[in-house]
A and B are shown apart, each in its own frame.
Chain A
Amino acid sequence: MKVTVTVNGGEVAAEVADRTLLVHLLRDVAGLTATNVGCDTSSCGACTVLLDGRSVKSCTLLAAQADGRQVTTVEGLSDGSGDLHPVQQAFRAEHGLQCGFCTPGMVMASVSLLAENPSPTEDDVRSALEGNLCRCTGYHNIVRAVLAAASERRPS
């Protein structure tokens, strides 16, 4: 079937098999390989992207379900001028990553959280990242990074 998805502001149109998963459209057709396939069972969150602004696991959605909709991957967060998105900056500043595999999903889940709740508590952050696993167990710094990004964004 023909799907047309707006990915990071640009149109991705392709003829794909009906069973094609969104993550494979992003990685194999659009060539956006930051979004990782981890567990493939909607447990680990490495494939998290935004669909119409809300976090979803792209390994558990069909490309067809995103047809005509807006998808944002971690590649689309910065405006292209070289500056990182505030959440990306905070992950770097707080060392919110070790091997980096879970990072794109963690960042996208965090962006979605901060859109829904701009002033989360530490508990809010930990709950919001329940669906994202870090095999390096780097959770403390990840949570710190999200809290730093939130306070950075808040007008003082």
Chain B
Amino acid sequence: MIPAPFTYQRASSVDEALDLASQAGEDAKFLAGGHSLMPLMKLRLAVPDTLIDIGRIGELSYIRADDGHIAVGALTSHDDIARSDLLASELPLLAQAAGQIGDPQVRHCGTIGGSLAHSDPAADLPAVALALGATFVARGPSGTREIAAGDFFLSLFETVLEPGELLTEIRIPRPQAAGWSFQKFAKRGIDWAIVGVAVQGSSVALVNMGSTPIRATAVEQALAAGSGPREAAAHAAEGTSAPDDLNGPRAYREHLARVLVARALEEAGSRA
């Protein structure tokens, strides 16, 4: 099974990637690790006419502590994030979640920017970015802009990024509120989450409970009003629109969300 024909181009810098994208037009896609895009291309669910390989742009692979935030380059691999000492001490939620994505082979290739820009609501890092209140930096033909994680995801495989616009950096405020947890339920280790939960402090975000990653606002409100973990978790499915699919009906996912949010809040509380 191979993808439909396309033209392959390789960029060695962000500037070159943006130039190639503006020349290639709307049917071009950036290729980072390719572990979400290539399977879709094999199935003809994505048929770009040009792939711009940004995988070797070394300037976009870094993790560093800046004033007030941790900056992660968009091409930092899941494996590098999972093994980062800086993230283990400052943002263990991100490091832990990245270490649970797919399998080692996938984590060697997949990148944080690729996962976010791909906008799959079943992916782990989009919900983690929401729970951490991250800001995304994007560069495009009309310059650089910052986008709040909460404004970034529009729908399945759709974000506010314009054609030719490249996600370059993820900024996560520091320090974060104490207490964190990442819970994911899948049938096999390598599978997408049937439901997942990311908690940092009193921020709660859900994986695969709608067409985008979402904040569990009803849970957050209950926590703010003084509810305990189990009481607050009872609101986990409110305002969600979980899919019905071969992994289970919506009601099953709603039940899972309540169970996993309760576990996540209890674990986060024990770490606070």
Kindly state the separation between the CA atoms of A20 and B38 in the bound complex, as whole angstroms: 12
Contact B7 A42 (CB under 8 A): no
Restricting to A9-41, which residues have a CB under 8 Å from any CB of B? 17-21, 24, 40-41
B-side contacts of A21, CB under 8 Å = 2
Kindly state the separation between the CA atoms of A54 and B188 in the bound complex, as whole angstroms: 23
Contact A64 B34 (CB under 8 A): no
Contact B108 A55 (CB under 8 A): yes
Kindly state the separation between the CA atoms of A67 and B31 in the bound complex, as whole angstroms: 15
Contact A45 B103 (CB under 8 A): yes
Contact A18 B7 (CB under 8 A): yes
B263 at interface by CB-CB < 8 Å: no
Contact A131 B106 (CB under 8 A): yes
Contact A60 B5 (CB under 8 A): no
Contact A131 B53 (CB under 8 A): no
Kindly state the separation between the CA atoms of A41 and B38 in the bound complex, as whole angstroms: 9
Contact B42 A40 (CB under 8 A): yes
Contact A127 B34 (CB under 8 A): no
A103 at interface by CB-CB < 8 Å: no
Contact A41 B109 (CB under 8 A): no
Contact A19 B3 (CB under 8 A): yes
B249 at interface by CB-CB < 8 Å: no
Kindly state the separation between the CA atoms of A65 and B37 in the bound complex, as whole angstroms: 14
Kindly state the separation between the CA atoms of A51 and B34 in the bound complex, as whole angstroms: 15
Kindly state the separation between the CA atoms of A131 and B188 in the bound complex, as whole angstroms: 10
Restricting to A32-83, which residues have a CB under 8 Å from any CB of B? 40-43, 45, 48, 51, 54-57, 60-62, 64-65, 67
Contact A60 B35 (CB under 8 A): yes
Kindly state the separation between the CA atoms of A43 and B79 in the bound complex, as whole angstroms: 18
A112 at interface by CB-CB < 8 Å: yes
- Closest chain B residue, CB of each to CB of A39: B1
B230 at interface by CB-CB < 8 Å: no
**What is the total number of residues of chain A having a CB less than 8 Å from a CB of chain B?**
32
A7 at interface by CB-CB < 8 Å: no
**What is the total number of residues of chain B having a CB less than 8 Å from a CB of chain A?**
29
If A40-B42, A42-B35, A56-B109 touch, does A64 touch B104 (CB 8 Å cutoff)?
no
B-side contacts of A131, CB under 8 Å = 102-106, 189-190
Contact A109 B5 (CB under 8 A): no
A99 at interface by CB-CB < 8 Å: no
If A18-B6, A19-B3, A130-B190 touch, does A55 touch B39 (CB 8 Å cutoff)?
no
B55 at interface by CB-CB < 8 Å: yes
B4 at interface by CB-CB < 8 Å: yes
B69 at interface by CB-CB < 8 Å: no
If A42-B39, A130-B189 touch, does A57 touch B55 (CB 8 Å cutoff)?
no
Kindly state the separation between the CA atoms of A141 and B194 in the bound complex, as whole angstroms: 30
B10 at interface by CB-CB < 8 Å: yes
Contact B53 A18 (CB under 8 A): no
B-side contacts of A55, CB under 8 Å = 104-105, 108
B-side contacts of A45, CB under 8 Å = 103, 105
Contact A19 B106 (CB under 8 A): no
Kindly state the separation between the CA atoms of A127 and B189 in the bound complex, as whole angstroms: 8
B157 at interface by CB-CB < 8 Å: no
Contact B102 A19 (CB under 8 A): no
A-side contacts of B55, CB under 8 Å = 65
A142 at interface by CB-CB < 8 Å: no
Q: How distant is A46 from chain B, measured CB to nearest CB, in Å?
A: 11
B8 at interface by CB-CB < 8 Å: yes
B-side contacts of A54, CB under 8 Å = 79, 108
User: Can you pick out 24 interface pairs between chain A and chain B where the beta carbons lie within 8 Å of each other?
Assistant: A1-B8, A18-B7, A18-B8, A19-B2, A19-B3, A21-B2, A41-B39, A41-B42, A42-B35, A42-B38, A42-B105, A45-B103, A54-B108, A55-B105, A56-B109, A57-B106, A61-B38, A64-B10, A65-B31, A67-B10, A130-B104, A130-B189, A131-B104, A131-B105
Known: A19-B2, A109-B104. 5 other contacts (CB 8 A): A18-B6, A24-B2, A56-B108, A64-B53, A112-B104
